[in-house]
Amino acid sequence: MGKVLVTGGAGYIGSHVVKALGEKGYDIIVYDNLSTGNQWAVLYGELVIGDILDLIMMRKVFINNKIDVVIHLAACIIAPESVEQPLKYYMNNVCGTLNLLQVMAETKVNKFIFSSTAAVYGIPQEIPVTENSAIAPISPYGQSKAIIEKIINDIAKAADLQYITLRCFNVAGADLYGRIGEGKPQSTHLITSCVRTALNPISCLNVYGNDYPTTDGTGIRDYIHVDDLASAFTMSLQYLLDGGKSLVCNCGYGRGYSVLEVMEATKKLTGVNINVAFKERRLGDPPILIADSQKLKQSLNWQPRYNDLHCIIESALRWEQKIMKNGNFIVKC
């Protein structure tokens, strides 16, 4: 086969997807503007620094390479930020993806794997959430992903496009060998924030909302280890190469943990008391999000390997201990 193009492949999830593809011997081109990604995180393939909003640059990449499959992970992904900066999210996520799909059509690349989000469900009426649950996003971030999903579906009806949309729930953890992990100094991922707070005695963990209709008042999420999510992408790739039909699948474990439960698990693992600052709820945050991933398991034979909160936190801790040698990440109250 030709090459696999991974947009956003220098980012947190993208770099783990690239690692998984590289370990399986795929020929990879990583396309990333490095706005939130890092060059050091790209362990395999060729890195091309470019933006999905740069149609001319993307066209050159496709023309100069025989690309068979596109895995699209380049996106702005912070729901509360999207409420404050909706134009940024619609411009980058929607317009950038349209550019990508246009170049794919021009160069007759017809296999596409899209990284979507549980945020498309908004505040779900049923838990766990299935792929048939109502699409009702409550943030511009979720809305941008829902719009892209609709665009992909419409194109597939009109043209030869096989696709898999993976609706990712809360991604956490790091490479088990400590090679790569979360690389942003100001992470919005809860488990990363918990670990960084535990490693910095003068810092504190901001908890946004303790009055949700949950057992302890804090939001509940389905946390999936980043390597398990990466395996869903590699299995999706092989599925499409084998002639599989288009799919939309949830990616999660089907078990939720509250913010305070994650905090207590981190405290138990590290032996450090975590300072907490309770804040008002953030716009765009639903109370509970838990996945039903039976479709992913049945369609792709995907089986999670790291479905354990302790394992997820431990891998994140190991990574943060490594990178703290080069600088501290401090979350101030």
DSSP per residue over 153-176, as a string?
HHHHHHS--EEEEEEE-EEE---T
Which of 53-62, 162-171, 239-248, 281-290 has the weakest average pLDDT? 281-290
- pTM for the predicted model, two decimal places: 0.96
SS3 45: coil
Instruction: Say how many C-beta atoms besides its own lie within 10 A of residue 190's C-beta.
Output: 22
Please tell me the CATH code under which domain 3-172+223-251 is placed: 3.40.50.720
In angstroms, the CA 96 to CA 147 distance is: 12
Is 141 tagged catalytic? yes
212 and 2 in contact (C-beta within 8 Å)? no
**One-letter amino acid for residue 276 of the chain:** V
- pLDDT beyond 70 at 217: yes
- pLDDT beyond 50 at 170: yes
Catalytic site residue from 12, 141, 212, 253: 141
Q: Which residue has the higher pLDDT, 100 or 283?
A: 100
Which of 17-26, 74-83, 121-130, 321-330 has the weakest average pLDDT? 321-330
DSSP code of residue 129: B
Q: What is the pLDDT of residue 160?
A: 94
Helix axes 96-106, 55-64, angle to 10 degrees: 30
Q: The tokens of 48 are what?
A: 């091309």
Would you kindly state where each structural domain of the chain is located, as residue ranges?
3-172+223-251
Please state, for a pLDDT cut of 70, what percent of the chain lies above it: 98
Task: Give the start-end residues of each E strand in the chain.
Answer: 3-7, 28-32, 46-49, 67-72, 111-117, 162-168, 170-172, 205-208, 220-221, 223-225, 247-251, 257-258, 276-279, 288-289
Please state, for a pLDDT cut of 90, what percent of the chain lies above it: 91
Task: State the virtual CA torsion across 32, 34, 38, 41 in degrees, nearest 10.
Answer: 0
Q: What is the pLDDT of residue 184?
A: 82
For 200, phi and psi rounded to 5 degrees?
Answer: -125, 95
- pLDDT beyond 50 at 333: no
Q: What is the pLDDT of residue 329?
A: 42
